[in-house]
Amino acid sequence: MNRMSQKRVYSMHSDTYCQLERASDGPAAQTPQANGARMSNRTRMSSGTVTVNDGTQIYYKDWGTGQPIVFHHGWPLSADDWDTQMLFFLSKGYRVIAHDRRGHGRSTQTDHGNDYDTFSADVASVVAHLALNDAIHIGHSMGGGEVVRYVARYGGSRVAKVVTIGGIPPIMLKTDANPAGLPIDVFDGFRKGLAANRAQFFHDIAAGPFYGFNRPGAKVSEGIVQNWWRQGMMGAAKAQYDCIKAFSETDFTENLRQISAPVLIMHGEDDQIVPIADSALLSAKLVRSGTLKTYPGLSHGMATTNADLINADILAFINS
């Protein structure tokens, strides 16, 4: 990949308007609703890429108008993991944006920059290009760390509120300063599984602990499993491998303390991927203006399996 000597941001994008026919309205053209409770019959739909200073192209999709909500996906997924949330908040009159992290989805398959300093800078480039202000940033899992670092370093007046769902902060790895964290053997197991048979490893995560499908009596959705696998296999194995170190060893303690915007910390009490005791419960004590909301029996993937509940709680927080 060619590296650029100057910091420039370029973009390629397409803008279309999607005709959405409402069953109650019939095919006749309707007057679009501004910030209404339902999607208008003419919705702005855009997607494209932003080329950041090292030449990496960051893919994004950008739907609707109104106050922006920016979604940050987890590992090893893509912006598509937020489709349910994007449709919901679009219908409520918000502008919804989601990007593929470098090395993931449709963004450049990078062999460098797979760390949170770079991830947050990439987000800042996307936000600047799209001229997003007064935005709500929502991050799941690894994306929770991305949100926290971005808001602490670049957010300022551009950020209205923050939401983490099953977020990894403050730090996942067991260290002298974090004795309740997960041992390095857990993450070495991730690296081994990815390197040996990525396809099978990704299937086993989605079909097992990620959504709690390994629990007795769980109703497994094969569609959810396949969609997780599809997104994971779109990404670069090298970037995903590097990200295991990033999401397990990065310490967000000081970033959490620096955030002045209101923060909603949402976490499933049966999260088998990011245990609640060493993540959400600690993060809630570090932020200046935080609200902790936990969900008995729910999994790491609760934003997918329990989307109606999670979406409603996020909307209530935004409107509070």
Residues forming the active site = 141, 271, 300
Among 207, 202, 200, which residue's Cα sits nearest to residue 221? 207
Q: Cα-atom radius of gyration of the chain, to the nearest Å?
A: 19
Q: Tally Cβ neighbours within 10 Å of residue 111.
A: 12
Give CA separation, 251 vs 15, 118, 248, in Å.
Answer: 38, 15, 9
The contacts of residue 202 (CB under 8 Å, 6+ apart) are 76, 228, 229, 232, 233
Burial class (CB in 10 A: 0-12, 13-18, 19+), 206: buried
Those residues with Cβ within 8 angstroms of residue 201's Cβ, 6 or more apart along the chain or in another chain: 193, 194
Half-sphere exposure of 230 (CA within 13 A, CB side): 9
Hey, what are 173's tokens? 């790895």
Distance in angstroms (rounded) separating the CA atoms of residues 261 and 318? 12
